[in-house]
Amino acid sequence: MIDFIIMTLAIFAVSSLLTEFEGPRGLFVKLRDKYSDSPLKCLVCTSVYVSAVFYILHANNIDQHLMPLASVGVVILLERIKWN
């Protein structure tokens, strides 16, 4: 169960970063502008693709790297709660 929560928070973090934040040197904005018809403008659509990649990594036992991303997901959630 804890793996699922960590995986979900990490997926949320990466999807949020890709769809809503500028990123380093505006990288995410450039990606969204370059691929304007891509799912990078939709949090739910991006989450589908990010979750597929994360579950492949999880199947290959590379999921120990997801904990920092899960922490980012918690921070993003707390920020949203704070401002709403």
Which domain covers residue 7, as residue numbers?
2-83
pTM of this prediction exceeds 0.85: no
Q: What are the pLDDT digits (tens) for 58-81?
A: 777 766 777 777 888 888 888 888
Surface-to-core class of residue 11, CB atoms within 10 Å of its CB (0-12 exposed, 13-18 middle, 19+ buried): buried
Q: What are the pLDDT digits (tens) for 25-57?
A: 999 889 888 887 778 888 888 888 888 888 887
Q: How many domains does the chain have?
A: 1
Look at the block and give the residue holding tokens 């997801």.
66
